[in-house]
Amino acid sequence: MSVYAGGGAGVGRGEDTAVEAVAEAIARVGGEVIRRSLTWGTSGNLSARLGDSFVISPHRARLDDLRRDRLVVCPIDAVGEPCPGASVEFEMHRAVYAAVPDARAVLHTSAPYTTVLACSRIRVPFNVNTDSLVYVGPIARVPFRHPGTIDLARAVAARATRSRALLLDNHGSLVWDTGLDDVLRRTEALEFLARLLVTARAARIPLSLLSDEDVAPYLSRHLAGGLESPAAGKRFHG
């Protein structure tokens, strides 16, 4: 475990190039998160798996200012161990990587419309439009737990095994996927869906949801890698 410093303690010489590549990708995607208004200020955190560890954004850092010398490398198999300098939510990221071997990147944000839904108890279907079928998939809600706690990490891990898009009650969202660009795309698609739902509700426009039969062909893209398949119908919506 070490603060990334191009070969600091815990990062062998053979790993330097890999850490460098991951750090550059995290900095690039972090910048896009802010540019696309998917979070604000120092809210949000971003990480990527690197072997038996993960590289994560630092504590109290804007995602568009992720200097490589401040990124932090944390071990995955070390629940409860501190990771100095890392985002306060490092345990949540750690828990996802431990629970879902296919998870290669994790992004936690507070996008405006997504957070509105997270602060409500409105049902959040994904069978609304084709974009949500392709890019969002089943959405699971995570009951409120205080940020940065093991309790939150455990609650997130329990639901990450059946959904790549999680709504954290009264908090925001967490998305995991197989790459950094993929978590960015899924987070942006989730925010688009949230905006569509909030706008339709405000305008009192009833939405026509797609049937389970229409949804079924799209599920495999979200559930690959041993994720638990959600039951049909209402359970699709977390």
Nearest-angstrom CA–CA distance, 164 and 17: 29
| CATH code (residue 64) | 3.40.225.10
Q: What would the pLDDT profile of 161-207 be if each residue is shown by its tens digit?
A: 999 999 999 999 999 999 999 999 999 999 999 999 999 999 999 99
Question: Into how many domains does the chain fold?
Answer: 1
Residue 75's domain spans which residues? 2-237
> Phi and psi for 115 in degrees, rounded to 5?
-70, -35
Its pTM stands at 0.88
Q: What is the pLDDT of residue 19?
A: 85
Residue 62 buriedness (CB in 10 A; 0-12 / 13-18 / 19+) = middle
pLDDT at 12: 37
- Low-confidence residues in the chain, pLDDT < 50: 1-14, 226, 231-238
